[in-house]
Structure 1
Amino acid sequence: MSEKIYFNTSNKFSLKRTLVNVSTRLHHTVAPKHAEKVARKLLLTPVRSKPKNSEPSGLVKGELQTSEGRLTTYRLGSGPVWLLIHGWSGSANQFLPLMEHIAEQGFTALAYDHPAHGSSEGVYGHIPSFVRGLESVIDSIDDLAGVVGHSMGTAALLECRHQKLHDCPLLLIAPVLEYLENLFGSLQRSGYSMKLFNAVAQQLEQQYHYPLQSIDPYRKLAARHCPTTIVHDQLDKFAPFDVSQRAADEMPAVNLVATQGQGHGRVMTCAQVMQAFDALTKS
């Protein structure tokens, strides 16, 4: 259900949006506790997408126990590890074509399903749980060579402060660099009560000791000095291309590869992504 809110890009007047605003504000006024319970389920429950790619020969599935529950991992190849992080309502299955390419280049491709995604445990998904899960996965890796992230997975990646990431090259695909702007813009377009959203956000802040306003992937990317390549489609409807363009213009370590006609999802397996990976490993 939350996908309809976070991936809403329409700015046109909508009677449905008006009704959503009125009904959620009224619900929160009349029965605040129940409204917050419903909002938590609506806003933080991702869609568990069905696998679209066939599993290649040699793919090894595993499990990793974390503070966010059991996470399912997928490993292919041998050699230094490139970690792959999917986005909201996605799964590691989306990365299988890229994982095959990584394995062919002499590396281990390691992907996993976020909490409440794919085959991993969990009910709710959000940046704090993504970061905690990512930290646990990185703890399990001895020879991390680099990281690939897609969409909201890039926000979790840049938010993560694990020391093993400091010197790692990054490949960011359709990144969400202005996370809060994207989030609040989507909520506003949906008509959802911001007061009710803030109540849910405050609960998460208290639970994880993670202030919402501290989330700033763009600023944290700017503070990095290792090579980063962004692959982004110019007509991406969900993550603004112009933000990636600005990052490449302002940040010396960031290189941008623009695509056309790949959208927000198909771009994950396009030729430019494979080429960008090869260029990063050679440099």
Structure 2
Amino acid sequence: MTKKTKIGNQSLKIPKIILVTAKFLEAISPKLAMLFAAKLFVTPIKYKIPKRELHMEQKSIQSKLFVPSLKKNIVVYNYGKSDKKILLVHGWSGRGTQLVKIADEMLDLGYSTISFDAPAHGKSEGKTTIMTEFIASILEIEKQFGPFEFAIGHSLGGMSILNAIKQNLSIKKAVIIGSGDIIQDIIDDFIQKLQLKPKIGLLLKNHFERNFGEPMENYAASFSAKSITVPVLIIHDKNDDDVNVKAAYNIHKNLKNSSLMITEGLGHRKILGDSKVIETVKEFICN
């Protein structure tokens, strides 16, 4: 018997043993329950690469990149031969080939794509990570593989791109698909699905803020959006069970120059391969 939850914007099935352990620790000590939840929150699951992504994995030039601020190596995928480059950023528990359908279309438009396995994802080092490491990876990739014309991100990747632009990632336009927004919303939902009391969510947020020395909401997509002037295309599905569509509307409201596409019936992942979505991305980039 399992229960669905969302860790880092990725629907997962939590084994009953984890739910029982979480409740047991909560009964003993809220702090122990929070530390247990914190460990789960920063640990992505590495999935086997699906067949639809294999050609991108095989045709990409792959290299290791050391990110000095993290003291970690990540794997970078250089797909295509054009000097005009587009940065692709996957979501939580994803990998550098996850946006393959979009990448193939970008090659047809005359671009090459640069993507990567974020820390603790795919072939990259580590077992735990968090959004700040996605952002640091993006900024280091820009130094080594940029400049980029555009950036396209899914889920946590979309949040990371907006934060990276805020930290001076230089691009002409950005596309974010199924992006999360408010950090507290993500934490609260995660805690609820672990069947823990809301106060554990507050303890968890305080734990991360102590570790990082700043408010977590500094990384909310809508907060970063306020300082962004480049055009941004926001795509989100009305039936996204991983990230509520309200995130898209809130990000849109806070951007100075944005377009919003709301789809229906595609959820959080099918949206990446939808022909109408990809056509909209192409039109946005070309115009």
Compute the TM-score of the two structures, normalised by the length of structure 2.
0.82
Match of 1:51 among 42, 49, 52: 49
Matched length: 274
What is the CA distance between 1:212 and its match in structure 2?
1.7
Query: Is 222-231 or 114-123 further displaced after alignment?
Result: 222-231
The match for 2:167 is 162
- What CA distance in whole angstroms lies between the structure 2 residues aligned with 1:8 and 1:99? 21
- What CA distance in whole angstroms lies between the structure 2 residues aligned with 1:134 and 1:27? 41
The match for 2:141 is 137
Letter in 1 for 2:244: P
1:208-229 Cα shifts (integer Å, max 9, x gaps): 4443232221122233221111
Inter-CA distance 245–17: structure 2 relative to 1 (3 Å threshold): same
Query: Is 223-232 or 114-123 further displaced after alignment?
Result: 223-232
The match for 2:114 is 110
Letter in 2 for 1:62: S
1:133-190 Cα shifts (integer Å, max 9, x gaps): 222222223321010010111112222233233x531111111123322322331343
The match for 1:28 is 29
- What CA distance in whole angstroms lies between the structure 2 residues aligned with 1:154 and 1:44? 18
Give runs of aligned pairs for residues 51-200 of structure 1, distance below 5 A: 51-52=49-50, 53-56=53-56, 58-66=59-67, 67-68=69-70, 69-77=72-80, 78-160=82-164, 161-165=166-170, 167-192=171-196
- What CA distance in whole angstroms lies between the structure 2 residues aligned with 1:74 and 1:43? 26
- What CA distance in whole angstroms lies between the structure 2 residues aligned with 1:112 and 1:214? 24
Inter-CA distance 219–60: structure 2 relative to 1 (3 Å threshold): same
- What CA distance in whole angstroms lies between the structure 2 residues aligned with 1:204 and 1:226? 30
Superposition RMSD on alpha carbons, in Å? 3.1
CA contact (8 A) 2:183 2:217 kept: no
Inter-CA distance 127–258: structure 2 relative to 1 (3 Å threshold): same
Letter in 1 for 2:167: H
Q: Does 1:232 align with 2:236?
A: yes
What SS is found at the alignment partner of 1:223?
A: coil
What SS is found at the alignment partner of 2:79?
A: strand
What SS is found at the alignment partner of 2:105?
A: helix
What is the CA distance between 1:37 and its match in structure 2?
5.5
What SS is found at the alignment partner of 1:144?
A: coil
Inter-CA distance 203–219: structure 2 relative to 1 (3 Å threshold): closer
Inter-CA distance 169–131: structure 2 relative to 1 (3 Å threshold): same
- What CA distance in whole angstroms lies between the structure 1 residues aligned with 2:253 and 2:168? 27
- What CA distance in whole angstroms lies between the structure 2 residues aligned with 1:35 and 1:188? 13
Letter in 2 for 1:217: A
1:110-146 Cα shifts (integer Å, max 9, x gaps): 1101111111111112122222222222222332101
Where do 5+ consecutive residues of structure 1 fail to align? 10-14
CA contact (8 A) 1:228 1:255 kept: yes
- What CA distance in whole angstroms lies between the structure 2 residues aligned with 1:202 and 1:41? 14
The match for 1:12 is none
What SS is found at the alignment partner of 2:120?
A: coil
The match for 2:217 is 213
Alignment identity in percent? 19
- What CA distance in whole angstroms lies between the structure 1 residues aligned with 2:103 and 2:132? 26
Where do 5+ consecutive residues of structure 2 fail to align? none
Q: Does 1:264 align with 2:248?
A: no
Inter-CA distance 250–213: structure 2 relative to 1 (3 Å threshold): closer
Compute the TM-score of the two structures, normalised by the length of structure 1.
0.83
